[in-house]
Amino acid sequence: MAELSGVVAIVTGSSSGIGERTAQRLSELGAAVVVNSSSSVAAGEAVASALPGESIYVQADIADADQCRRLLDATVDRFGKLDLLVNNAGWTTLVDHRDLDALTEEIFRKTFEVNVFGTWNLTKMAMPLLRESQAAGGGHVVNVTSIAGVRPVGSSIAYSMSKAALNQMTRLLAKSHGPVRVNAVAPGLVATPWTSDWDAQHEGVKRMAPLKRSATPDDCAEAVLALVRNHYVTGEIFVVDGGLTQLS
């Protein structure tokens, strides 16, 4: 049997980048995977159809509580349960931290609606299913956060604040909802389609990080798998930044 045979996983924001690679790796290891995106339907359907194992695609914007419920209902309708929730969906835009006027209320609210409220609502709704999980040692949540949640950096002040909130949410849920495990992967800058034109930021990481490059989606997906595999880890914020946070 494959390592994750019998595991049912939702990976939000999995039509590209970190989420896509995470969905691929979970599927390669035998998990049934629910691919999700808020708007990139064709891309999400293509990812799901290309996975080697059982999969479905569900379009849902996690910032909308009703759509969170629909995502979970579709998962249970197809697979009968949920064992692993990877909260990867997020949103940001570049705003200079020194320009407070540029960080508009619209940007601030959207950042928190997706990154914090959306992740919170989906996790809260999923918790009863995760408590019932018996596959692979029980239910598990992995939040994809950011080093911006542990250092005063990031694409905007709002983004950094939202990721700090997710890191703290990870610890609080881990403490209060065991034996469901709740962990986080906190990448540094990742080379994805979203950041493909962030040349200055990638150059900065290359110059400062001991490993001299930005992270890749595969780096982040392997970190998710490391947390999935270790059944005695919870409340952990797994920093994946090439040594930038601790060594630079």
- Residues with active-site annotation: 159
Q: Count the residues in the chain.
A: 248
* Bridge partner residues of 56 (DSSP): 34
**Residue 236 backbone dihedrals phi, psi, to 5 degrees:** -90, 135
121-128 contact pairs (CB < 8 A, 24+): 121/62, 121/65, 121/68, 122/12, 122/62, 122/68, 122/71, 122/72, 122/85, 122/87, 123/85, 123/87, 123/169, 123/173, 125/65, 125/68, 125/69, 125/72, 126/10, 126/72, 126/82, 126/85, 127/177, 127/180
- Tell me the C-alpha distance between 112 and 166, whole Å: 10
Q: How distant is the alpha carbon of residue 88 from its chain centre?
A: 2
